[in-house]
Structure 1
Amino acid sequence: MTRLIILDRDGVINEDSDNYIRSVDEWIPVPGSIEAIGRLSKAGYTLAVATNQSGIARGYYPMSELEAMHDKMNHLVQEQGGHIDCITFCPHGPDEGCQCRKPETGLVDQIEQRLGLPASGAWFVGDSLKDLQCARRKNCQPVLVRTGKGERTLAKGEELEDVPVFESLADFTDHLLGHP
């Protein structure tokens, strides 16, 4: 099995908002998520982020602000002794017909190309049905977390068969690494 773990961003790594995360100040980690990424990295996993960021297409924030959010995320992870190996994002709106907006697989295709690793068999941790659908299309192992939109996704109950559910990224990490 591959040692690749793909993470959605909003709702998995950082708190999500129905009004979008529009600034570096609004980018607030989910409790325990940064530490979890550090632990996974130190355990030898390759970590990638695949995130839809339609707020760019909608004009809610510029690319420079997204870069600042990712710089903050990377810095916090590095403080925990970890490393995010690849970040991919879709800047398009939902009606643009691109191939990178989840549930399409373009972001995962980019991860495979950049890292030279197959995504098949990788864990894909998300909080939405789009994340789970993308994971399945690339033969990844989908995981749902209850943070972010996870509770809403659970309430809908669609396409959740055989999908493990965890309270958070930290809870998933405890399970994967075999210790609390």
Structure 2
Amino acid sequence: MAGAMEAALARRSWSKVTDEAPTHDELLRIVAAAGRVADHSSLRPWRLIELRGDDRERLGRAINKANGDKGSSSKPLRAPLLIAVVASYRKSHKVPRWEQEAVASGVAHLLSLLLDEAGWGVIWRTGHYTRSKAVAKLHGLGKNEELLGWLYVGGKPANSRPERRKTVDAREFLSPLP
């Protein structure tokens, strides 16, 4: 197993994946690890929803409804597994809403990193329809929840290489206090 530095440096978004996907049991193990992100007061202000098979068709219909279109969007069919990332805000006097959303985003990012390291192709997709009533209803979101997007997960194509990310020049982003 690669170290965290190697995994982070090797991570890429995979916009095209095969029809293979991790099993539910494989996913449980990875989600348990992703849930270890920094979480002020251990609120666990997140949850994940697993979409496979016909669930993706249902999501396609909800996306089109949100867009005012008929039929079903084919976007959710781009991967065999979609993992909806939900910020599930908790009442707290110590932990503001933005910090809880950061925790949910952290879980999603760590989950994508762990899935990639396990050999799966992953891309985090969003869109204006993540905040639509039709999509929220499909996911069973409560009043205290927001959909942050979906991780599209599938096999990495054998003869395909994802687009390489540009190296980050850390000197541009790290500075002393002015």
TM-score for both structures, normalised by structure 1: 0.28
Which has the higher Rg, Structure 1 or Structure 2? Answer: 2
